[in-house]
Structure 1
Amino acid sequence: MDLNREASAIAESASEEIRALNHRSLPGHFKQPADVYAVAESLATLIARMPQALHQLGRAVQDFQDRQAIRMDDGSDPAERVACVAVALADAVRGLEAAQAAMRRANSPLAGMGGYFTADEDGDEVGEDAGV
Structure 2
Amino acid sequence: MRILYFVLLAILAAPIAAQTGLPPAPYADTQLEDPAKEAEARELMEELRCLKCQSQSIADSNAPMAGDMRSQVRERISAGQTPDEIRQWLVERYGNWVTYDPPMTAMTWPLWIAPIILLIAALWLARGRFRRKKEKS
Establish whether TM, by shorter chain, passes 0.5: no
| Larger RCO, structures 1/2 (Cα 8 Å, 6+ apart) | 1
Look at both structures and tell me which one has the larger radius of gyration over its CA atoms: 2
TM-score, normalised by the number of residues in structure 1:
0.26
